[in-house]
């Protein structure tokens, strides 16, 4: 086999090799190895550069639009189910327990009566300061003529029940309650405020819940005609708040149509 004579410096002498005794195949192998190492080195050196270029280049992808943050849950419409612990549909025994729980009243403090016209049964109590800085109020719990269960609650502030219920006090108490009810959520078109009634009274608020149950707040009193300004003026003497389970069809005694 022919040999290739080496004319360069003898770098291989420390290893006991004579440079002039390499075969051509061995030389080709050496050059191949050197070329391979050079290629790998180029790849390794170019990788960080490419990565930096890719990072610096503008992206063609459009970032996904962020979804808006969820808002607060919608307020639920009010449910008119009675007054405090007294709920529509309760019987007399249950209402007496509710009265005791709410106002610590029992025995003779709970007065029973019957309506001779509507033939409903009524439990009544007198309660001081249901609203701060107001006079005493009379709370009537009305039981249906047929069902014998709670169908209505009437809360009445009047000068007759307590001289502290002066006109100004009744106006302030009514305004406080009106603001409270206006802050509640009623179905669209089911709340009315500040209307004048046919008898001269003031409808401070009326609201109906999704089930058709209603509350009504009315300020009333004698109406006098001002001869000078020709305007009617009402002097408040009664503030009434009514909770009713079915104001359109109350469970009260009615003569049947066609009876007379």
Domain limits of the chain? Answer: 1-51, 82-244
**What pLDDT does residue 86 have?**
98
The structure's pTM equals 0.71
pLDDT tens, residue by residue, 122-153 = 999 999 999 999 999 999 999 999 999 999 99
- Is 42 within 8 Å of 50 (Cβ atoms)? no
Q: Smallest Cα–Cα separation from 220: which of 201, 241, 198, 199?
A: 201
- Is 239 within 8 Å of 158 (Cβ atoms)? yes
Instruction: Output b/e per residue, 21-34; b: 16+ Cβ within 10 A.
Output: ebeeeeeeeeeeee
What is the helix, strand, coil percentage profile of the chain, to 5?
25, 25, 45
Q: Which two tokens stand for residue 25?
A: 């195949």
Q: Is 109 helix (H, G, I), strand (E, B) or coil?
A: helix
What is the band of 23 on the pLDDT scale with cuts at 50, 70, 90?
low
Tell me the average pLDDT across 191-217. 96
| Percent of the chain predicted with pLDDT > 90 | 65
Alpha-carbon distance values, 156 to 1, 83, 100, 101, 218 (Å): 128, 13, 19, 20, 10
**What pLDDT does residue 65 have?**
56
Alpha-carbon distance values, 234 to 140, 153, 175, 181, 224 (Å): 25, 25, 16, 23, 6
How many Cα atoms sit within 13 Å of 192 on the Cβ side?
Answer: 12
pLDDT tens, residue by residue, 24-83 = 554 454 445 545 545 545 554 554 544 444 544 455 555 555 666 666 666 788 999 999
pLDDT of 196 > 60? The answer is yes
Distance (Å, whole) CA 94 – CA 92: 5
What is the band of 189 on the pLDDT scale with cuts at 50, 70, 90?
very high
Distance (Å, whole) CA 200 – CA 170: 16
pLDDT of 4 > 50? The answer is no
């Amino acid at each position: 086999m022919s040999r290739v004579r080496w004319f360069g410096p003898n770098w291989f002498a420390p290893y006991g090799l004579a440079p002039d005794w390499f075969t051509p195949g061995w030389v080709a192998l050496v050059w191949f190895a050197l070329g391979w190492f050079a290629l790998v080195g180029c790849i390794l050196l170019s990788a960080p550069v490419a990565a930096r270029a890719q990072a610096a280049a503008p992206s063609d992808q459009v970032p996904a639009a962020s979804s808006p943050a969820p808002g607060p849950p919608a307020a639920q419409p009010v449910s008119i189910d009675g007054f405090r612990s007294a709920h529509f549909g309760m019987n007399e025994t249950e209402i007496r327990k509710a009265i005791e729980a709410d106002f610590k009243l029992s025995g003779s403090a709970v007065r029973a009566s019957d309506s001779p016209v509507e033939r409903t049964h009524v439990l009544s109590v007198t309660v001081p300061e249901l609203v701060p800085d107001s006079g005493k109020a009379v709370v009537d719990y009305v039981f249906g003529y047929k069902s014998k269960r709670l169908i209505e609650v009437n809360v009445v502030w009047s000068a007759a029940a307590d001289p502290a219920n002066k006109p100004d006090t009744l106006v302030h108490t009514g305004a406080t309650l009106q603001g409270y009810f206006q802050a509640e959520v009623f179905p669209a078109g089911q709340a009315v405020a500040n209307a004048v009634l046919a008898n001269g009274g003031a409808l401070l608020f009326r609201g109906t819940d999704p089930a058709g149950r209603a509350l009504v707040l009315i300020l009333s009193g004698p109406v006098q005609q001002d001869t000078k300004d020709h305007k009617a003026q009402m002097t408040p003497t009664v503030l009434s708040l009514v909770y009713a389970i079915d104001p359109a069809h109350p469970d009260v005694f009615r003569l049947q149509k066609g009876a007379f």
